Amino acid sequence: MITLGRLARFPLFGLAIGLVAFTSFATPAAPAGRPAPQRAEPPTAVTDVVIPAAWASDAAVELATTDLRSTLAEVYGLPARLIADDTPSPLPYSIVLLAPGAPFYDRLVADGQLTPVSLGPDGYRLLRMTYRGEPLIAVLGGSIRGTAYGVFRLVEMFRLNPESYKRPLDLKVEPAIALRLVSSPTGENFPSPEQALRWGYNTVAITQWPWLVTYDGVDPAIYAAPEDRAWVEQNRARARAEIARAKALHLDVLTSGDVISFPSRVADLYGEQVGVRTDRPIYCLGRPKTQQLYRAALRELLRTFPEIDYVMIRTGENYPAGPVSGNPPAMKECGPGEMTSMVRLVMDISYHEIVELGGRRYIQRAWDIGAHGFHADPAVAGRILDGVGAKPNLLVSFKHTQTDFWRYNPSNPNLNRFPAARMVEYQAAREYEGKGAFPNYLGGIVADGAPENGGQGALRDLVGNGVSAVWVWARGGGWNGPYLRSDIWLDANNYAIAKLVWDPTLSAKALALQWATLRFGPQAAPHLARVLELSEEIVLRTMYVAPFARRQGAWVPNVAWTRDDLIFGADRVGALYQQAKAPPEFDEAIREKEIARRLLKEMVTEMGRAADLSSDPDLADEAINTVRYGDTLLRAMNDYVSGMFYYFRWVDLGRVHENDRQAALRYLADWRDGWTAFNERILLLYGVATGYVDHGMVQAVDDALADLNGLAVRR
């Protein structure tokens, strides 16, 4: 028997087993000023975590058992040992992770203590049982990765309810979605592979593939410049490290890239053979040399990095980096060739190279800008995918919204229309809605669909219609701030979405309560859950104007009067007003802003109650500051829109209606107080995000106030 203080790494080894037994220790006292944590009377035996000897150096097992042992110490005050042993003796109140083929597993089956069950590679079973008169909890996984998922689930059960160790338990779990990718597509790699495994994902992203290809097999002159060569070699070294870290945890690896993307030197070397020379290179996919280079890039990628499991291709936008330049495949400068035929050409080449020759899986992102392209328009998607069918190892990926990640945006109809395997994309940090700088809970939108759209597009319905893969943007989206100093509200979204990816029938409200219990303690949890529940409607009623959004349709349903951290001026708010100035719509717009203010007041109250009851005062301080940030900012935004609406109506009706004038003056005065407080007080609070930025709003209000007071210089 080998006793280990820690585990390192070991190759994949079937299914898993470990043991935990308990002994009685005094429950640590709660820190002063903090509610006492919920504690169960601990079991009455020595605590051990037992694993098969073959797993003594596996990184995923180390991560899972470290979390388990930490939980036993924190929740029960039990210092658990870690033991690698294929034939452990019975231990009272043990937790056992079982590996078919290992001696202890075979002994349990032979003794009639365990009936084998079928498990997929990511599935697991948690079972409370008796072995030779002694109680234990068994964790069985369909692979080491599945076992790790089971241990993390057990950890959460103990943290949510310390009494759960002694309750009857027989839980078999398989994920509803087979491919579960999590990444930050527009920034640094987030989450870490360790966190991805804890959340239950099985695929992570590495450095983008166009940054990893040298083209040395085609022409070493392409990366002849020393600084360019150094750049690509640094990327390759980083990718190797990213792959090694992910594979040690038994995670699959994906790399994405925009097509067409080449080092800019390609245009210098090959000129019109590859494209058109303007102020920047434009590559034309219809030219044979361009196709040759694209094929060579994919072949080099898969030969150099054989550990890559998935290659993702985007054709709708192109954002190059370093010495790489690029463009979408359909460019008017290249001559005849409509978008649909060019995208299909990309797909045909990519499938041949990635799947048929490379033996990997290929994901084609449908994303492009607007309401009439591959991503949003079923007719266009139908032409591109005509004849594709359900090709093996091909996935087509769509955002869950018909266009970008806005509210008042229908569910993407393409997710339910085609025989090709489909992936759905979700964003945890909504770029048009604060990015997590303040509460904006998305559990309900994922679980049940957006209420303003009648609940269409619920994840459970997408899965029922054959969606088999998911990509969660855990962070990232947009190009500016706000930049977070606290991930607390993103954590709530990521917790809920990660759970729903495994079981889309779960309740978003129940998940909010679970998350709040884990992070803030059971006494504060109901108040935190209410904060999250309120946030969904607050953001909807603040960031959008319902009458405008209903008329506008799927593309930019808020006319981008605010995006990222920018708040725009009279032209965009005026556009909102023009579509909502008839009396019923005007009244609705003003009323929804009043509702938002009322709900903000309730949210602040609930957050205050939660902070008083939190088991983590430091985290509560951070959370309450971010709620104050949201309250002050969103009130100012509501006052801005309301004041400008009344001002525009006062102007439209000849500047004679005093009620409109007074309402505009009142709201705009409140806006000025709120905007000043936001910039001079709120942004100084600990843990809050960077501020929102005026991008025409202040000038719009100054002009309106001058006009309302008879001082305007007409523009």
Q: Quick check: is 526 in a domain?
A: no
Q: Verify that 345 and 368 share a domain, yes or no.
A: yes
DSSP letter (8 states) at residue 6: -
Instruction: Say how many residues make up the chain.
Output: 715
Q: Quick check: is 556 in a domain?
A: yes
Q: Which of 93-107, 301-315, 528-542, 565-579 has the lowest mean pLDDT?
A: 93-107
Q: How do 2-4 and 81-84 pair as beta strands?
A: antiparallel
pLDDT digits (tens, 9 = 90+) for 577-598: 999 999 999 999 999 999 999 9
pLDDT digits (tens, 9 = 90+) for 272-289: 999 998 888 999 999 999
Domain limit, last residue, from 115, 150, 173: 173
Q: Which residues are 425's β-sheet partners?
A: 399, 471
How far apart are alpha carbons 60 and 344 in whole angstroms?
40
How far apart are alpha carbons 489 and 138 in whole angstroms?
34
As to burial, measured by CB atoms within 10 angstroms (0-12 exposed, 13-18 middle, 19+ buried), residue 39 is: middle
Domain limit, last residue, from 126, 151, 173: 173
Q: Verify that 275 and 228 share a domain, yes or no.
A: yes
Q: Verify that 281 and 243 share a domain, yes or no.
A: yes
pLDDT digits (tens, 9 = 90+) for 289-342: 999 999 999 999 999 999 999 999 999 999 989 999 999 999 999 988 789 999
Q: Which residues are 324's β-sheet partners?
A: 263
Q: Verify that 540 and 488 share a domain, yes or no.
A: no
Residue 127 CA: distances (Å) to CA of 30, 43, 99, 107: 32, 17, 14, 16
- The overall average pLDDT reported for the chain is 91
Q: Verify that 360 and 396 share a domain, yes or no.
A: yes
Q: Verify that 580 and 481 share a domain, yes or no.
A: no
> What is the model's pLDDT at position 110?
87
Q: Which residue has the higher pLDDT, 519 or 93?
A: 519
Among residues 384, 376, 349, 489, which one has the least CA distance to residue 429? 489
**What does 333-402 look like in DSSP terms, one character per residue?**
GG-S--HHHHHHHHHHHHIIIIIIIT--EEEEE---SSSSSTTT-HHHHHHHHTTT-S-TTEEEEEESBS
pLDDT digits (tens, 9 = 90+) for 23-38: 222 333 334 445 555 5
How far apart are alpha carbons 623 and 645 in whole angstroms?
33
Q: Quick check: is 518 in a domain?
A: no
In the sheet that holds 81-84, the strands lie side by side as 2-4, 81-84, 48-51, 94-98, 134-141, 124-131, 170-173
* CATH assignment at residue 390: 3.20.20.80
How far apart are alpha carbons 188 and 196 in whole angstroms?
14
Q: Which of 194-198, 221-225, 336-340 has the lowest mean pLDDT?
A: 336-340
For residue 512, name the pLDDT band (cuts at 50, 70, 90). Answer: very high
Q: Verify that 453 and 573 share a domain, yes or no.
A: no
Q: Structurally, how many domains does the chain consist of?
A: 3
Q: Verify that 214 and 147 share a domain, yes or no.
A: no
Tokens found for residue 12: 């994949």
The residue range of the domain holding 417 is: 179-507
Q: Quick check: is 520 in a domain?
A: no
Q: Verify that 166 and 195 share a domain, yes or no.
A: no
